[in-house]
Amino acid sequence: MPTLDTLFSPQALSAAIGAGYVTRTRDAALGLSLYAYTRSCQYDHAWNEVTTRCRGLVVSDADGTVVAWPLRKFFNATDHTRGVDYAPPLPSGPFHVYDKVDGSLGLIFFWRGQWRAATTATFGSPQAHWAQSYLAGRDTSTLVPGNTYIAEIVYPDNRVVVDYGDRQDLVLLAAHDAHGAELDLDRAAGHWKAVGSVVRRWPTMPLDQLVQLTGSDVLPDGGTARGMDTEGFVVHFVNGPRVKVKYDTYKQLHRLRSGVTARSIWQHQGASLYAGHGVTELGKALDLPRAEIRKLLADGDPLRTLLNRVPDEYDPWVRSTLNDFAQRAATLRQQIDDTFRAHASLRDRGAFAQSLRTAPPAVRSGAFRRFDGLSTDLVVWRALKPHVTH
């Protein structure tokens, strides 16, 4: 049976964990570890052989045997046109088109005489517990021990964007055998029939046309697609990679439901950068109560915590927003420094104040901080506050 060290070297795995790109979650009672890439890995595009495989890779702690095989990380179809190493040009061969189900990705695997459920990040999430309870009420006798069944976990309290109503289901997406080879979906569906449903397959159409559809509100069959009705599609090349194609309306709704705005990015980045200034000062600068500041700082890295709520398709927007803040902050600091130096010879506070009467408010406040030998950090950051939440 394949073991962890046959997939990649211990040194490569250690490096990924050390960089914060992979986490190891242990279930001591089961003697298992689950390896998963992190949100930082997504944001930094730190994709390699280790991180793409660690998408819920479950391994025996006793001997390193791979117990559950997840799907490798796959990317947006448009990523494969950008010349990046982790998303090479797509093959020209045939492919199948499936619904992209909007829930939580789960792994169903056999261990110590029982079918177990995990999500791609952990054994102990609410979604994993729900799936375990769901399995307990189903006939699993036709499932094949050694196989890993990859399913989307769908139930009302786990809604992301798409509204499935009262549906409670484990939707089979794919399956692997004990050696990690992917099984034919129709064959795996035969094992799954008493457990849950199988992902919908659409008639094949040219990939560029499918991508164009997702910019509209039209389904491949001509029906209407709204953001709360469908996420998009997974395209699986025969004996090859998968890619995802999401509807624009879905992505927009996902961002809105996340509650992440330019202002929340400004607040979380400010808390990350200037935690050393203390709760009271930071709260005044960021327009947040002290209790909220304490909560942000307790999370360790407030910005990285916020990123967990942002769909990865919006990472370019987050980067652009952060870059804009950084550039404007650098410009304002320079203006403050130039203004202070121009009037530094005035050691009388009243004369200094008079000389700054025409300076912009943030520059004037910053120059006074310099006059008093204080930091200008929070004056600068507060001046960047977005005026609208967008």
Of the residues 68, 86, 116, the one at which a domain ends: 68
On whether residue 157 sits in a domain, the answer given is: no
- Mark which of 42, 68, 94 sits at the end of a domain: 68
- Please name which of 167, 172, 135, 138 lies closest in space to residue 154, comparing C-alpha atoms: 167
Candidates 222, 262, 213, 251; CA nearest to 387 is 262
313 occurs within a structural domain: yes
How far is Cα 60 from Cα 46, in angstroms, rounded to an integer?
A: 26
The pTM of the full predicted model, rounded to 2 decimals, is 0.88
Domain annotation covers residue 340? yes
Q: What is the 3-state secondary structure (H, E, C) of 121-146?
A: CCCCCHHHHHHHHHHHCCCCCCCCCC
Name, in order, each residue with C-beta under 8 angstroms of 197's C-beta and a sequence gap of 6 or more: 169, 170, 171, 172
Give per-residue pLDDT as tens, 128-152: 999 999 999 999 999 999 999 999 9
Per the domain annotation, does 241 fall within a domain? no
Residue 138 lies in a domain: no
Sheet containing 114-119, strands listed edge to edge, beginning at the edge strand earlier in sequence: 114-119, 104-111, 148-154, 169-176
Q: How many domains does the chain have?
A: 2
3-class secondary structure for 306-364?
Answer: HHCCCCHHHHHHHHHHHHHHHHHHHHHHHHHHHHHHHHCCCCCHHHHHHHCCCCCHHHH
> For the segment 147-180, what is each residue's pLDDT rounded down to a tens digit?
999 999 999 999 999 999 999 999 999 999 999 9
Q: Evaluate whether residue 291 is within a structural domain.
A: yes
Q: Select from 35, 68, 101 the last residue of a domain.
A: 68
By residue range, what is the domain housing residue 298?
259-383
In order along the chain (390 residues), what is the average pLDDT of each group of 10 residues?
Answer: 95 98 97 97 96 98 98 96 94 94 98 97 96 97 98 96 95 98 97 98 93 89 83 94 94 88 95 93 94 90 88 91 98 96 88 90 94 95 82
